Amino acid sequence: MTADHTLTVHDLELGYGERTVIDSLDLVLPPGRVTAIVGANACGKSTLLRSMSRLLRPRTGQVLLDGKQVHRLPAKELARTLGLLPQAPTAPEGITVSDLVGRGRNPHQGLLSRWSTEDDAAVAAALEATDTVELADRPVDELSGGQRQRVWIAMALAQQTDVLLLDEPTTYLDVSHQVEVLDLLTDLNRNRGTTIVMVLHDLNLAARYADHLVALTGGRLHAAGDPHQVLTEETVRAVFGLDCSVITDPVSGRPLMLPIGRHHMAVTRS
Amino acid sequence: MTLAPPLPASGAAAVRRPRRLRAVWLLGGLLVLVGLMALSVAVGSRDVGLDDILAALGGSSDTLDRAAVTKRIPRTFLAVLVGAALGLAGAVMQGVTRNPLADPGILGVNMGASLAVITGIAWFGLTAPASFVWAAIAGAALSAVFVYAVGSLGRGGATPLKLALAGTATSAAFASFITAVVLPRNDIAGGVRSWQIGGVGGASMDTITLVLPFLAVGLLVCLASARGLNSLALGDDVAAGLGERVALTRGAAAVGAVLLCGAATAVAGPIGFVGLVVPHLCRLLVGVDHRWLLPFSAVTGAALLTAADVLGRVVARPSEIDVGIITALVGAPFFIHVVRRQKVRAL
């Protein structure tokens, strides 16, 4: 089991150039749980994730990992605790799966230290966990979208961090691969206690897989908490400007959102 | 992860498998290089018998034949050093810019080094080879920064084709400028011209000891950046997530490459295409892991330049063709091949 780390965001303001993307945001991400960040396009979800992994400096406010500012921690030290998988990462042409996964060991290696048996073990375990052992010698280019995403997650696992941030890990995947990836992340959370924070587009998958749901709108926090409290008709209207009906998902018991378009009102309202 | 029973042995085996093959390639490359070095001492525009070659290697330069062989020894070492420097610098530049078209020649770095040296000769009275090295390194650094800045302008940042275009345009401008400087000055024109095409024929042990420290530092800096380049290859965001300080890593590796290019150009003139061809060839053989790719590129670059130099001495007997012309003949079609492949995507 991994140690619990608390990621906190305090009075955070983020932006690019003139544009403010995140404004006076306060958040506490529960340790050892799965958090999903949801919101409309351009609401600042990815920007927030980038800042939490120190890719973007806050204009004001702080991102704290166990009370320490992530932007002040040494880069490799942070990377041993907190990993990041950006949206749709690209692998260099011709790289093999085991080579790619092995690069996740970077923060554990010094300038002169050699590849160790510990590195071997971490890579092997990451391949096992993501069910990609069979793919180890294959070039990443040749894999399907779902396999490729599993390999990238394996790279993040080889990094052996207690906190893992993922920006839309299910983008470009069909529904079965989306479920496969989210199941894998749930395994990781349950078996190793890894704190998972991910940006997700699909509200229903977010409500099903997350213990903690964060809804952003216009760079501000709209609601955060248990999916049952956050995924409501009111939230969806405020965050997405969409009318909907929320029922209980018969499979998971979590809330399930059914959008109401202009053409189906009679059916849903009857 | 819950379904499969734990099989750590199979995973570990899968991780270790490719390494042996790469070691074999590296060893094979070294053997080929040693063979080519022997050939470079034995073969030249003058036919020399084996006993004279051996006598010359023993230190004798009594006869004309033996003296010719004695001159081939520093020349061979210089070809090895310059080739290794250019092959390694090319691999590092391709890694730093994530650009399959990057090369000290194409990015204008070598021409920048030449321009600095020639400007120094023409206007600042540089005569000592030691001052050539400093001028060349400064010129290489300035043109690298300039080309990268121009190539990054506009949308999408420094894409492969934009960088190649910026570098080629800069190279062409520098080349015309060099011509404009050299042409009206008969006193320096002859010497400058042969240096400018690129050659190792004028090598002496003095020039080698002169550039050796610069090459050694450049080599160490480049090899030390291998792991950082591996992270950069996954994109800046992933690299930063892996704890890499992206700007620092990129800057340090670029400094190493500039040292290598500047020093190599100072003694051998702007030799093109070695830095382009070698890393591509090496990637086919040992893959994209820079910890293997960089040393292998150095060995292959040394072998290629030595082979090109030997070829240049043999094909036009009794005269010689400069090694820079041979590498251009091999490299230019290769450049077109790389550009024409369906996707010139970022590395």
Cβ separation B243–A94 shorter than 8 A: no
Enumerate the residues of chain A whose CB falls inside 8 A of the CB of residue B241.
53, 55, 79, 83-86
Enumerate the residues of chain A whose CB falls inside 8 A of the CB of residue B12.
120-121, 124
Cβ separation B237–A103 shorter than 8 A: no
Mean pLDDT computed over B233-247? 90
Rounded to whole angstroms, the Cα distance separating A191 from B191 reads: 72
**Domain ranges for chain B:** 71-340
Residue of higher predicted confidence among B217 and B204:
B217
pLDDT at residue A145 in the model:
86
pLDDT at residue B267 in the model:
87
Rounded to whole angstroms, the Cα distance separating A87 from B128 reads: 54
Alpha helices (H) along chain A: 45-52, 75-81, 97-102, 117-129, 145-158, 175-192, 203-209, 227-230, 233-240, 265-269
The Cβ of residue B64 has, within 10 Å, a number of other Cβ atoms equal to 11
Taking the CA of residue B121 as centre, how many other CA atoms within 13 Å lie in the half-sphere pointing to its CB? 27
User: What is the C-alpha R_g of chain B?
Assistant: 21
In this prediction, residue B5 has a pLDDT band, given cuts at 50, 70 and 90, of very low
The Cβ of residue A237 has, within 10 Å, a number of other Cβ atoms equal to 12
pLDDT at residue A270 in the model:
43
SS3 A85: strand
Residue of higher predicted confidence among B51 and B198:
B51
pLDDT at residue A248 in the model:
94
User: Predicted ipTM?
Assistant: 0.87
Q: Assess whether pLDDT exceeds 70 at residue B225.
A: yes
Q: What is the pLDDT of residues A86-96, one digit of tens each?
A: 988 988 888 99
pLDDT at residue B8 in the model:
45
Mean pLDDT in chain B? 83
Residue of higher predicted confidence among B339 and A59:
A59
pLDDT at residue B12 in the model:
54
Mean pLDDT computed over B46-68? 78
Give me the residues of A, 29-88, that contact B with CB < 8 A.
50, 53-55, 75-80, 83-86
Rounded to whole angstroms, the Cα distance separating B296 from B22 reads: 9
Q: What is the pLDDT of residues A24-45, one digit of tens each?
A: 899 999 999 999 999 998 888 9
Which of B16, B237, B346 has its CB closest to that of A55?
A: B237
Q: Does B247 touch chain A (CB under 8 A)?
A: no
Give all domains of chain A, ordered by start, each with its CATH number: 7-269 (3.40.50.300)
Q: Does B285 touch chain A (CB under 8 A)?
A: no
Best probe of the B interface among A55, A70, A80, A93, by most B CBs < 10 A, is A93
In this prediction, residue B118 has a pLDDT band, given cuts at 50, 70 and 90, of confident
Give me the residues of B, 211-240, that contact A with CB < 8 A.
224, 227, 230-231, 233-235, 237-238, 240
Q: Measured between CA atoms, how close is A122 to chain B, in angstroms?
A: 9
pLDDT at residue B260 in the model:
94
Chain A to chain B, count of Cβ pairs less than 8 Å apart? 126
Q: Assess whether pLDDT exceeds 50 at residue B7.
A: no
Residue whose C-alpha is closest to residue B200's, from B121, B107, B112, B265: B265
pLDDT at residue A109 in the model:
85
The answer to whether A45 and A224 have CB atoms below 8 angstroms apart is no
Cβ separation B224–A111 shorter than 8 A: yes
Rounded to whole angstroms, the Cα distance separating A178 from A204 reads: 12
Q: Assess whether pLDDT exceeds 50 at residue B18.
A: yes
Mean pLDDT computed over B29-43? 90
Taking the CA of residue B293 as centre, how many other CA atoms within 13 Å lie in the half-sphere pointing to its CB? 30
pLDDT at residue B52 in the model:
80
pLDDT at residue A183 in the model:
93
Q: Which of B16-20, B74-78, B245-249, B263-267 has the lowest mean pLDDT?
A: B16-20
Mean pLDDT computed over B46-61? 78
Q: What is the pLDDT of residues A95-125, one digit of tens each?
A: 999 999 999 999 998 766 777 888 889 999 9
For the domain B71-340, what is the CATH superfamily, name and number?
ABC transporter involved in vitamin B12 uptake, BtuC (1.10.3470.10)
Residue of higher predicted confidence among B16 and A245:
A245
pLDDT at residue A200 in the model:
94
Q: What is the pLDDT of residues A205-233, one digit of tens each?
A: 999 999 999 999 988 999 999 999 999 99
In this prediction, residue B34 has a pLDDT band, given cuts at 50, 70 and 90, of very high
pLDDT at residue B107 in the model:
85
Q: Assess whether pLDDT exceeds 60 at residue B162.
A: yes
